[in-house]
Structure 1
């Protein structure tokens, strides 16, 4: 027994440091190419391994340095140990490996912060930078003057010091207070307009306005609605990013910037408008979550060249050094560290020169030099950067390439209250997962699915926003639009009878009852065979997608919905409890045994026979029924949703109005209301998790001057 313990102890003493070094190496190899996937997917199966690797990378390196420090001190005390003994590594490699661990702590360029809150921990990283640097220097001192690898160690240490300093500074610049201070102390001068101001906004008198100060260069000269080229989208997005980055810190925009942006976006197609905000949000992401803000510019490029050159020279010196006394396994690990450091730097370099930042830098000048033109052609800065046709199903090859081509997930998550109520967990299971705090995670896996953000929905949303932006002539209209929660659309469409369902209830109740009404109408219409009119069917699908998306935001991302803290949980719980109780009494399970569920697209929408029957029973609730009394006492909105559904059906049958067109427009307005009143921090926090449609609308509504 004692011999077995001694064997395991010797094995651990031999491989503990080596194992941690290899683990740190593998974690860096995972993070560098996979870091950009965070902004392109919302899948937990991708984000969770990246999150785990990010945390382990920051934990493994300091732990390994501590073991090296302990082993080195032990070796200094025990002079009888032979250098080739595998229980203790040769002292020349300890400082070199410690320097590589400092390099690993610098992290990849593609991921400095995993979440927005990580930027607030820049002081912790600064302290860790000092401690790790001092520890590495002390380990080097312990091996002097006999250390033959002191020069390669110094060069790797220099590279690690640069890399970790870049990361710490990136976190510091992206921290909330520093970011806001940088915006406040950096003056944003409005551009000198070459047209009279009334050409941009009719409410401005017909006089030329001359601004005092150093103006920014005007580049927004296109007045037509022709599609922008790929490079033009990048340039204009960067131009607006330099102005609209104040939204992250909730700083008020100037009047001139708003007017110029509104004029430009009103003369764009829906495709170009959404491309612009996608790229603009991509610039936001890289400033807040990567080293882009530090490595851009002459200083950043110079430090990167010094860092890369130091590792290359260190490799050459290490290769030329005599290594007879070193263990072969340790030599292989050292070469792996050098190879990984150089390879990942090369990958980061190519990612940098092929990025949007480089494209902007090479096309900034109207009269570029020969060198700039040559580099632009060499790097294909005008190359295609998007998948144009998103209406057709993606091929297998395109599905592999697509995550590296898009700027966000291009998906909208879906959550359905009826489906959730029809498929509850058992009480024992609910208590079990609640005890371990897994409710939100498992609810997301069980009840949330995703749908592609189709071009039809994109065009519909932009057209609704564009029509409202064209009516903006003064601040009063802006206030009316930003405060509308469906009432603006209902008044325009002449549906005054539906106004109490948005004006007489709070925003959360409005979302819930319109969701229930939408689900009832959707199930009822599809049971009857759907619509023959393609346009009408489009409105139906738009309303369904936006309805489930808003419930997803309410259920899984409540911080993105205004004024729901402490309210939405109660309303949602009461409504779900009433729905479950109602469905149990109706014994809806028997429908699964008597009839087969729908297939195809209806199954995709979770619209089986049980679901349809549930909606029919909700619609059949009458005011004199005992259920309406019970529901009213508990203050859920199940009964109110049934009343709204009846009024919508009546609106279509008696007044001959397209209820789906009205409902889809109401849902756009409900989504817009959340986008108008959302704060910047909650939106940019989702950029590292695939992004959200509401974030695109948050920025787009600002460009269209639809926010207060």
Structure 2
């Protein structure tokens, strides 16, 4: 007991010091780890950032509350209040954790007023107990803290959906450099079309086809690169302070904030500190050094932006423009060579769950899932559907988006752009009859159609490749191209992944939960054996696999065209999705429900749009029976 009492007493004496150091440590972690999630779907990273994001605010607010309740006569603790405001201002790499933070910016504004008043109260209580140099130093630190906290609140407001919907994208209408080519020209084209991208993100209906973008689509690689770059810029504007720091007022306030910290440090260094504890003085110096370090690192973040490079280029600051371009190209989130939007795609094999066919799991999570399945289902007799939620957690995996998948998406968007919905049905020589037989099922329930085709695709591919590891061995066989098989399998599993984990992004007729429950009944699986048999009777030639890959790509594009922009804004904070990339690529071509060319699933509905400016495009044009 004496040992425990001593520890409790020591903790009580050092509580405020530990809280301040914890707050600073969390800010360091958020600064360096905050930018990683832009291209990562790692659950552990996301959980760590979520805990740090909430914990940083909690630690700073609790520390301010502690200071307001305790007398600090002989300590420097009162001087730490403005640093806690600086910490509450957040880091440039992660202003918002999710779109909900942006939409609730008024709540953050209320917190700003409350915490600033509380910090001022803490400071006011210490007037008369400390020397003038220290108090003036604290005032300058307060200026920096209020500005930093205000920056965060303003950035949250700028990233809210309400602000995007009411804005006219004037922040993106910048003067851009002329007469540049190669990669620099590619970046200029991306910046030039950003106002249209913001209109798309705001869900403003665009009934006029942007002629410059239609011309750009002729270079498919350039368009794909532009979309990837723009997704990165959208992420920055929604979840960091990038948009606020591109304004003149934002730059001026940031300069004032940095100058205030420097003045505060100089005054603190010159003040008499003999009466204070050495530990408190060391902590205060650590807070100053940490603030300088983070501010110095923050100066490089705007230099990574293509907007900074373009502005410097227009201002004829060639030396700084070259430096900005160098830093810009070193940032793995932006360069054309290292594009990472999308980077990974989720995979879920519903076929294995329904048929218990995954007998050789490759990951630890899948091995654990099989163990749970045997334990609960076989031993305890628990219904298989009751542990499906566990499968959604453990059986999800993420794989790289290879270039072939992105090329398929770009190619199919281009084909749909120039495809006419009348008189010339798209030829599906190998799987056309299958598409004709299942099109009514897709129209009736898109989710059921995805599951049925996923089950058929997996059965078809497994017939000629027993496992994914055998694909490389079969690569020499011309009749089974491993690359096309990989595309088919990845897209099939990805659409099921969206159905299982992100159903709100798909155009479903009934709830995904009801659809998934229905397909776990053995009799329902038996009803789709006809589709499986019909597909398995096809020759696994290169042409068949190409049409199958195109089919899955068009299902993805149809779902992307029917999706809402708000859902894609949310997905960017989670590492991004392939469907988001497809959605923005289609928007550049005026395709989707908010644009001039609407996408329907099949040509069974031959009614024309009422608005003569609208044109229908069909994901699957198959010959119809003649009356």
Residue 580 of structure 2: aligned partner: 695
Q: How does 1:104-115 map to 2 (within 5 A)?
A: 104-115=87-98
1:539 pairs with 461, 470, 484, which one?
484
Write the mapping of 1:260-271 to structure 2, written as runs, cut at 5 A: 260-265=212-217, 267-270=218-221
User: SS at the partner of 1:379?
Assistant: helix
SS across alignment from 1:412? strand
| Equivalent in the alignment of 1:513 | 452
* Equivalent residue number for residue 686 of structure 1: 571
Q: Contact 1:513/1:640 (CA < 8 Å) preserved in 2? A: no
Q: Does 1:561 align with 2:498?
A: no
Cα 1:647–1:427, aligned 2, differ >3 Å: closer, same or farther? closer
**Quick one: distance in 2 between partners of 1:303 and 1:94?**
27
Could you tell me how far 1:500 is from its partner in structure 2? 2.1
Does structure 1 residue 328 correspond to structure 2 residue 305? Answer: no
- Pair 1:242 & 2:241 matched: no
The question of whether the paired residues in 2 share the 8 Å contact of 1:516 and 1:642 is answered with no
Alignment partner of 1:378 out of 323, 327, 332: 323
The separation in 1 between residues aligned to 2:171 and 2:55, in whole angstroms, is 41
- TM-score, with length taken from structure 1: 0.73
Aligned-partner Cα distance in 1 for 2:67–2:332: 49
Name the structure 2 match of 1:550.
495
Return the offset for 1:341: 0.7
Q: CA deviation at 1:127?
A: 1.0
Give the secondary structure class of the aligned counterpart of 2:520: helix
Structure 2 unaligned spans of 5+: 357-368, 593-597, 599-627
**What does 1:405-420 align with in structure 2 at a 5 Å threshold?**
406-408=339-341, 410-420=343-353
Quick one: distance in 2 between partners of 1:45 and 1:171? Answer: 25
Cα pair distance change 1:576/1:693, threshold 3 Å: same
SS in 1 for 2:576: coil
Could you tell me how far apart the structure 2 residues matched to 1:668 and 1:462 are?
A: 10
Residue 522, structure 1, aligned to residue 522, structure 2 = no
Q: Residue 405 of structure 2 aligns with which residue?
A: 457
Q: Are the structure 2 counterparts of residues 641 and 102 from structure 1 closer, same or farther at C-alpha, using a change threshold of 3 Å?
A: same
Pair 1:45–1:504, CA change in 2 (3 A): closer
SS of residue paired to 2:399: strand
The equivalent of 1:670 in structure 2 is 555
Specify the structure having the higher radius of gyration (Cα). 1
The one of 519, 527, 532 equivalent to 1:575 is 519
Q: Report the counterpart of residue 223 of structure 2 in structure 1.
A: 273
Secondary structure (helix, strand or coil) at the match of 1:451 reads: strand
CA–CA distance in 2 between the matches of 1:504 and 1:661?
22
CA 1:70/1:386 → structure 2, altered by over 3 Å: closer, same or farther? closer
1:380 CA drift (Å): 3.5
Corresponding residue of 1:348? 298
Alignment of 1:114-193 (within 5 A): 114-148=97-131, 149-183=134-168
SS of 2:346's equivalent in the other structure is: strand
Query: Given that residues 675 and 695 in structure 1 are in contact (C-alpha distance below 8 angstroms), is that contact kept between their aligned partners in structure 2?
Result: yes
Q: Is the 8 A contact 1:113 1:171 kept in 2?
A: yes
For the pair 1:287 / 2:237, whether they are aligned, the reply is yes
CA displacement at 1:673 relative to structure 2: 0.7
Q: Distance in 1 between matches of 2:147 and 2:264?
A: 15
Question: By how many angstroms is 1:384 displaced?
Answer: 4.2
Displacement of 1:254 in angstroms is 4.3
SS where residue 167 of structure 2 aligns? helix
* Distance in 2 between residues matched to 1:274 and 1:492, nearest whole Å: 29
Q: Give the distance between the partners of 1:23 and 1:489, measured in 2 at CA.
A: 62
Aligned runs of 1:643-654 on 2, under 5 Å? 643-652=530-539
- Could you tell me how far apart the structure 2 residues matched to 1:490 and 1:534 are? 21
2:604 corresponds to: none
Q: SS of the counterpart of 1:108?
A: coil
Distance 2:17 2:312 in 1: 44
- Report SS of the residue matched to 1:255: coil
Three-state SS of the structure 2 residue aligned to 1:322 is coil
CA distance in 2, matches of 1:410, 1:519: 24
Query: Conserved in 2, the CA contact under 8 Å of 1:159 and 1:306?
Result: yes
Q: Distance in 2 between the 1:350 and 1:248 partners?
A: 28
- Quote the offset at 1:491 in angstroms: 5.2
